[in-house]
């Protein structure tokens, strides 16, 4: 059975004290609230990871927002998957649209990052999604198929089975424009079908596919009720403890 995941992405926000304070509030609000296959994750800036991994216990898992594609070496300013794993992180976001856009991360590079994350026992949350132009000109299925093909479909079935996907339409990220539940479900079903074609029905059935893009406590229930939506990647709302906790609790209502 696939996991139901709500993962927060704090992006480049919160100094050390603010991060510890927000995280502690979140842990207190959702302790004992999660059932069965449900997982809550906070993907924080690097400076927070060590402390949060200790504070999170079994209630909230910790993720990074990026990693370098190499194991170690002369890459000034970079952080490796091995380092991230060594402080107790279990997840890492790979290929967020902001990394693709502002840091020119290509599908080939993202495949390397996914491989090194898996080698270091991190679960990649691999992001895909179309821009507004691509949505409007009707090429979004092609765009998503291409991101999958060049990004993660080069993995073996055993490795792909460890990946979580996040469908994040770029036009919905941080804009307040959420994809409707029908729009999101249409793409999630398409993605699951592509996985089935590539790896077979069982792998497809067991892959968690999260929705991301202006998800909040008001729209989460309808989105998460869709057959192929297994939770969310949450940006802005993960910076408010009450909102994030309420989105996590959506699975219980
Ligand atoms: C994100 O950055 O992954 C995201 C989904 O942001 P927001 O929820 O703010 O749209």
Tokens 């059975």 appear where? Answer: 1
Distance 149 CA to ligand 1 centre (A): 24
Mutate to test the pocket of ligand 1, among 235, 244, 247 (most ligand atoms within 8 A of CB): 235
For the chain, first and last CA: distance in Å?
19
Distance 237 CA to ligand 1 centre (A): 8
Domain boundaries, the chain: 5-252
Residue nearest to atom 4 of ligand 1 (CA): 235
Q: What is the pLDDT of residue 253?
A: 56
- The long-range contacts involving 46-50, CB below 8 angstroms and separated by at least 24 positions, are 46/79, 46/84, 47/16, 47/19, 48/10, 48/14, 48/16, 48/19, 48/20, 48/23, 49/84, 49/87, 49/88, 49/89, 50/87, 50/88
Mutate to test the pocket of ligand 1, among 127, 215, 223, 239 (most ligand atoms within 8 A of CB): 215
Q: What is the pLDDT of residue 160?
A: 98
Distance 27 CA to ligand 1 centre (A): 20
Query: What number does the ligand 1 atom closest to the CA of 96 have?
Result: 3
Q: What is the pLDDT of residue 57?
A: 81
Per-residue pLDDT of the chain (253 residues; tens, 9 = 90+): 899 999 999 999 999 999 999 999 999 999 877 666 789 999 999 999 999 999 978 889 999 999 999 999 999 999 999 999 999 999 999 999 999 999 999 999 999 999 999 999 999 999 999 999 999 999 999 999 999 999 999 999 999 999 999 999 999 998 988 899 999 999 999 999 999 999 999 999 999 999 999 999 999 999 999 999 999 999 999 999 999 999 999 976 5
Whether the CB of 200 sits within 6 Å of ligand 1: no
Whether the CB of 95 sits within 6 Å of ligand 1: no
Query: What number does the ligand 1 atom closest to the CA of 166 have?
Result: 3
Q: What is the pLDDT of residue 96?
A: 98
Spatial neighbors of 182 by CB under 8 A, at least 6 apart, are: none
Q: Are 117 and 94 in contact (CB under 8 A)?
A: yes
Mutate to test the pocket of ligand 1, among 236, 237, 240 (most ligand atoms within 8 A of CB): 236
Q: What is the pLDDT of residue 141?
A: 98
Residue nearest to atom 8 of ligand 1 (CA): 235
Q: What is the pLDDT of residue 87?
A: 97
Whether the CB of 27 sits within 6 Å of ligand 1: no
Fold classification of 5-252 is: TIM Barrel (3.20.20)
Q: What is the pLDDT of residue 240?
A: 98
Q: What is the pLDDT of residue 61?
A: 96
Catalytic center residues: 96, 168
Residue nearest to atom 6 of ligand 1 (CA): 235
Whether the CB of 115 sits within 6 Å of ligand 1: no
Whether the CB of 125 sits within 6 Å of ligand 1: no
Tokens 């995280």 appear where? Answer: 23
Q: What is the pLDDT of residue 8?
A: 98
């Amino acid at each position: 059975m696939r996991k139901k995941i709500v993962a927060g992405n704090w992006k480049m926000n919160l100094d050390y004290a603010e991060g510890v304070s927000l995280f502690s509030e979140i842990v207190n609000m959702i302790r004992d609230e999660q059932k069965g296959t449900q997982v809550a994750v906070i993907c924080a800036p690097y400076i927070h990871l060590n402390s949060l991994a200790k504070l999170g216990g079994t209630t909230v898992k910790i993720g990074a927002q990026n990693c370098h594609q190499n194991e170690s070496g002369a890459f000034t300013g970079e952080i490796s998957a091995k380092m991230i794993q060594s402080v107790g992180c279990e997840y890492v976001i790979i290929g967020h649209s902001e990394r693709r856009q502002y840091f020119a991360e290509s599908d080939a590079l993202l495949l390397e990052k996914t491989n090194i994350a898996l080698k270091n026992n991190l679960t990649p949350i691999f992001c895909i999604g179309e821009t507004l132009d691509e949505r409007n000109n009707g090429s979004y299925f092609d765009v998503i198929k291409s991101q999958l093909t060049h990004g993660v479909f080069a993995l073996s079935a055993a490795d792909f089975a460890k990946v979580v996907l996040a469908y994040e339409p770029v036009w919905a990220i941080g804009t307040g424009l959420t994809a409707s539940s029908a729009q999101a479900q249409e793409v999630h079903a398409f993605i699951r079908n592509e996985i089935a074609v590539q790896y077979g029905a069982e792998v497809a059935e067991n892959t968690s596919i999260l929705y991301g893009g202006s998800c909040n406590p008001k729209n989460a229930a309808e989105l998460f009720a869709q057959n192929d939506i297994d939770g969310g990647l949450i940006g802005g709302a993960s910076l408010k403890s009450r909102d994030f906790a309420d989105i996590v609790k959506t699975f219980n209502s």
